[in-house]
Chain A
Amino acid sequence: DSGVTQTPKHLITATGQRVTLRCSPRSGDLSVYWYQQSLDQGLQFLIQYYNGEERAKGNILERFSAQQFPDLHSELNLSSLELGDSALYFCASSSRLAGGLPDTQYFGPGTRLTVL
């Protein structure tokens, strides 16, 4: 158990819909990362937050957005869903933003999204 929790574990929805994925980082971790794992794209970085502020963006679609709340949990919002958005979405957390050696990112169990 990494200490990172993600809900829900599974999500099945229809095209055009909007969903929200939730992540609670390990106690004390300030950085949250979102990754998407799909068969055709592999594991890709989407976005990073540090202590409530967006810090880095990867290959995140405009239909997707995220935020980190004062209690440090994070939500990833996916809207106007398409079949191709079906994937496993991982959240990871680490304790520091930068400086010195890179922190280990601890991954949650993921949310499996199926778009029908």
Chain B
Amino acid sequence: AQSVTQLGSHVSVSEGALVLLRCNYSSSVPPYLFWYVQYPNQGLQLLLKYTSAATLVKGINGFEAEFKKSETSFHLTKPSAHMSDAAEYFCAVTQNTGFQKLVFGTGTRLLVSP
């Protein structure tokens, strides 16, 4: 079975600081990995996805993530945090078996202080 683990339910950064949200996956087959963001009272929005083409994936709003097979990780980073980045971030995994259900991590709430 596939799973993802997000370390840290809350991460606090100052505006302008580096954002690092951690995600480790477990999968018996090559995984496809996603980061979604959820703003308060809204649905989930895709930030970026890894589908085996390139290990460094760039997404929207200046976010990027690097797939590291040796570390089974797919951490999300952003060089400089903005106040508008405050939200909950979810890492998710799926596999291309025909039933592409997403298996989500428990989420990390990013807090950005001025």
Residue numbers of A with Cβ under 8 A of B are 2, 4, 31, 33, 35, 42-45, 48, 55-56, 58, 90, 92, 94, 97-110
Contact = CB atoms under 8 A, between A and B. Distances in A.
B104 A98 contact: no
Nearest to A41: B106
A2 B32 CA distance: 21
Contacts of B32: 101-102
Contacts, number: 66
Contact of B51 (A92, A94, A102): A102
Interface in B71-114: 90, 94, 96-107
B48 to A, nearest CB: 10
Given A102-B51, A102-B94, A108-B43, A42 B107 contact: yes
Contact of B103 (A45, A101, A108): A45
B101 A2 contact: no
Contact of B97 (A2, A98, A109, A110): A98
A102 B106 contact: no
B102 A105 contact: yes
Given A42-B106, A102-B51, A107-B44, A97 B96 contact: no
Interface of B: 32, 36, 42-46, 49, 51-52, 90, 94, 96-107
A110 B41 CA distance: 9
Q: Lowest 8 A-B CB distances belong to which pairs?
A: A98-B98, A56-B99, A43-B104, A107-B43, A45-B101, A107-B44, A101-B51, A109-B43
A104 B49 contact: yes
A94 B100 contact: yes
Contacts of A98: 96-100
* Residue of A4, A98, A106, A107 with most partner-chain B CB within 10 A: A107
Residue among B46, B49, B102, B104 having the largest count of chain A Cβ atoms under 10 Å: B102
A60 to B, nearest CB: 11
Nearest to B6: A42
Nearest to B101: A45
Contacts of A100: 96
Nearest to B92: A43
A81 B42 CA distance: 24
